[in-house]
């Protein structure tokens, strides 16, 4: 590699950079490079008629000679014409910025294909996760990152320097073989949010229909009363906290399951099943969806006093008591019950917000791993405990009459308490000193079964 690598030396700010292609990305990139103090030379099929660009335009062969680094702002379909320019491109750093409109459109990644066309050039994949629009508007938090990969360390270094000067944060992904992964990034639409959103929609739909039948249809059929207006606020304000609590519990369930699996296997040197891995990876998104639903619950609860239905009921109650010359007794226990479930809800929600804030990258980056795991794990369980307690206190008296319900007339929140109760129960089990000691030994790698061939492989 030595002689070839020599072609790529650190460049100075005055050095000119070359861009092939005067399309959207070519223009935006050129504009940014120009603003950052570079000289830019364009290579185009039609240097005389490509319209206004920030700086000079030449034909491809001439432009290639002006710079060691060439940004190829051309679609992959047209790469074949570069082969004819091999004499001018050999030893140059070719930056492949291309994306494909669909996944797996071509058998090999664009950058790999380019490297095959021009084996004597140094292909670096970069900038493909940015947009022409984002580049033109300057770096903002959302589009500061760029991934980079390539086989030549020096070529990557040279391109990284340019990117850094453009105000981008460069993340090295390794050799040119990683370019397939980089090319797939722009095609993904919120990949980590898919599972949490599906769970949220599925659970909301299921509980909505259950409550619709139980609260509205059942009342209509058996009591002849039309309470369908309850769908918009009362039912919504049941579905949201129910789904929120279950999803908060689902954030902690995989962690508990992983610990139980490690205890069962007696070793940490074995991979978790794929579904558990995937579940663990989307816990943050699951928690944020749960937080959004909990916030809706808070908002819906705050509007209760101004609802017509509620004001009517209170007014009618007072008038009927006045007419009968009655007064209601003050129940101390009831006051305790309502205050306690409100306070648990408020505290649980406050901690929930703290969990949400610390999961934001800008905040979590400022925390040490220990601080982050203290908040997300310890305080997370406290949050789950408070929110579950909020549910139990809400239905305090109803739990005393649990026997009077049939399975299909159980209030929705009782069903929602099952998952968090199981998670908290299992967590308590894991906190038992003997279990905790064994888990710690396993996690520190002190306990494993060296006879197991899969473990031996990992230990080597
Ligand atoms: N637009 C964007 O936001 C982003 C684009 N990209 C990638 O950048 C590349 C360019 O995208 P974009 O600028 O939007 O595309 P455009 O279609 O706007 O521009 C492509 C340019 O390629 C040149 N070109 C077209 N046909 C040929 C050909 N047959 N032979 C040689 N050159 C040709 C033309 O330049 P000329 O006439 O001067 O020769 C043309 O202006 C693509 O690979 C795309 O995937 C990546 C990230 C974001
Ligand atoms: Cu509540």
Check which CATH number belongs to the domain holding 92 and give it.
Answer: 3.40.50.720
User: For tokens 């959004």, what's the residue?
Assistant: 292
What is the predicted pLDDT for the residue at 404? 73
58 or 346, greater pLDDT:
346
Q: Which ligand minimizes its atom distance to the CA of 240? A: 2
Ligand 1 site, residue 98, Cβ cutoff 6 A = yes
407 or 316, greater pLDDT:
316
10 phi/psi in degrees, rounded to 5: -60, 135
Pair 340, 356 in one domain:
yes
Q: Which of 154, 187, 220 is the last residue of a domain?
A: 187
Pair 267, 127 in one domain:
no
For residues 367 and 357, give the distance between their C-alpha atoms in angstroms, rounded to a whole number: 12
Residue 88, CA distances (Å) to 107, 155, 182 in order: 27, 17, 27
pLDDT higher than threshold 50 for residue 182: yes
Pair 82, 198 in one domain:
no
What is the predicted pLDDT for the residue at 265? 85
Pair 272, 219 in one domain:
yes
What is the predicted pLDDT for the residue at 206? 94
50: its two tokens:
């490509």
The answer to whether residue 452 is domain-embedded is no
Ligand 1 site, residue 30, Cβ cutoff 6 A = no
The answer to whether residue 459 is domain-embedded is no
What is the predicted pLDDT for the residue at 407? 67
Q: Which ligand minimizes its atom distance to the CA of 295? A: 2
370 or 423, greater pLDDT:
423
pLDDT higher than threshold 50 for residue 1: no
Q: How far is the CA of 384 from the centre of ligand 2 (A)?
A: 13
Q: How far is the CA of 74 from the centre of ligand 1 (A)?
A: 4
Pair 197, 252 in one domain:
yes
Assign 94 a pLDDT band (cuts: 50, 70, 90): very high
Assign 123 a pLDDT band (cuts: 50, 70, 90): very high
165: its two tokens:
């000067």
Print burial letters for 319-348: b (CB count within 10 Å at least 16), e (below 16). eeeeeeeeeeeeeeeeeebeeebeebbebb
Assign 115 a pLDDT band (cuts: 50, 70, 90): very high
3-state helix, strand, coil in the chain (%, to 5): 65, 10, 30
39: its two tokens:
């000289």
Which residue has the least CA distance to atom 19 on ligand 1?
A: 23
Which residue has the least CA distance to atom 18 on ligand 1?
A: 23
CATH code of the domain containing 287: 1.20.120
363: its two tokens:
């905040």
Q: How far is the CA of 39 from the centre of ligand 1 (A)?
A: 20
Pair 58, 150 in one domain:
yes
Collapsing DSSP to helix, strand or coil, 427 comes out as: helix
Q: Which of 165, 187, 209 is the last residue of a domain?
A: 187
What is the predicted pLDDT for the residue at 6? 42
- For the chain, give the mean pLDDT: 87
pLDDT higher than threshold 50 for residue 4: no
CB 183 within 8 A of CB 154: no
Pair 152, 83 in one domain:
yes
| Bridge partner residues of 71 (DSSP) | 19, 95
Give the range of the structural domain holding residue 131, as residue numbers without chain letter. 2-187
Pair 427, 281 in one domain:
yes
Query: Which value does ipTM take for this structure?
Result: 0.95
Q: How far is the CA of 361 from the centre of ligand 2 (A)?
A: 28
For residues 124 and 258, give the distance between their C-alpha atoms in angstroms, rounded to a whole number: 39
pLDDT higher than threshold 70 for residue 459: no
For residues 134 and 251, give the distance between their C-alpha atoms in angstroms, rounded to a whole number: 34
What is the predicted pLDDT for the residue at 349? 97
What is the predicted pLDDT for the residue at 8? 47
Average pLDDT on 422-429 reads 96
Q: Report how many domains make up the chain.
A: 2
281 or 244, greater pLDDT:
244
Collapsing DSSP to helix, strand or coil, 107 comes out as: coil
Which residue has the least CA distance to atom 25 on ligand 1?
A: 74
Q: What is the pTM of this model?
A: 0.71
Ligand 1 site, residue 25, Cβ cutoff 6 A = yes
Pair 154, 225 in one domain:
no
Assign 191 a pLDDT band (cuts: 50, 70, 90): confident
- What is the number of other CB atoms lying within 10 angstroms of the CB of residue 14? 8
Collapsing DSSP to helix, strand or coil, 410 comes out as: coil
């Amino acid at each position: 590699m030595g002689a070839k690598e020599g072609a790529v030396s650190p460049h100075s700010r005055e050095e000119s950079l070359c861009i092939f292609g005067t399309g959207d990305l070519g223009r935006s990139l050129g504009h940014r490079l120009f603003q950052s103090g570079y000289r830019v030379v364009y290579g185009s099929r039609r240097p005389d008629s490509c319209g206004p660009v920030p700086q000079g335009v030449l034909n491809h062969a001439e432009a290639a000679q002006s710079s060691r680094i060439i940004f190829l702002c051309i679609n992959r379909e047209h790469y074949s014409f570069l082969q004819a320019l091999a004499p001018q491109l050999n030893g140059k750093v070719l930056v492949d910025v291309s994306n494909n409109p669909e996944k797996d459109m071509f058998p090999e990644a664009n950058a790999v294909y380019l490297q095959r066309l021009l084996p004597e050039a140094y292909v670096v994949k970069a900038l493909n996760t940015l947009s022409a629009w984002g580049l033109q508007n300057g770096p903002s938090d959302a589009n500061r990152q760029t991934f980079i990969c390539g086989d030549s360390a020096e070529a990557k270094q040279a391109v990284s320097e340019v990117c850094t000067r453009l105000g981008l944060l460069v993340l090295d992904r390794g050799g040119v073989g990683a370019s397939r992964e980089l090319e797939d990034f722009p095609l993904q639409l919120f990949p980590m949010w898919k599972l949490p959103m599906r769970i949220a929609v599925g659970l909301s739909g299921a509980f909505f229909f259950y409550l619709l039948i139980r609260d509205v249809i059942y009342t209509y059929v058996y009591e002849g009363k039309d309470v369908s207006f309850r769908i918009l606020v009362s039912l919504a304000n049941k579905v949201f906290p129910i789904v929120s609590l279950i999803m908060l519990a689902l954030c902690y369930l995989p962690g508990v399951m992983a610990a139980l699996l490690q205890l069962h296997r007696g070793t940490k040197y074995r991979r978790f099943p794929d579904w558990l891995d995937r579940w663990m990876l989307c816990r943050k998104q699951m928690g944020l969806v749960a937080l959004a639903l909990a916030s809706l619950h808070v908002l819906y609860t705050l509007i209760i006093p101004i609802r017509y239905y509620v004001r009517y009921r209170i007014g009618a109650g007072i008038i009927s008591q006045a007419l009968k010359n009655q007064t209601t007794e003050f129940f101390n226990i009831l006051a305790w019950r309502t205050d306690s479930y409100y306070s648990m809800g408020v505290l649980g929600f406050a901690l929930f917000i703290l969990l949400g804030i610390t999961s934001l990258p800008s905040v979590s980056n400022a925390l040490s791993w220990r601080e982050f795991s203290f908040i997300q794990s310890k305080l997370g369980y406290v949050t789950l405990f408070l929110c579950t307690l909020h549910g139990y206190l809400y239905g305090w008296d109803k739990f005393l009459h649990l026997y009077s319900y049939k399975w299909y007339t159980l209030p929705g929140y009782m069903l929602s308490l099952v998952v968090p109760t199981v998670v908290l129960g299992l967590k308590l089990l894991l906190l038992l000193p003997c279990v905790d000691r064994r888990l710690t030994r396993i996690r520190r790698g002190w306990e494993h079964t060296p006879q197991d061939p899969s473990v031996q492989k990992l230990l080597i």
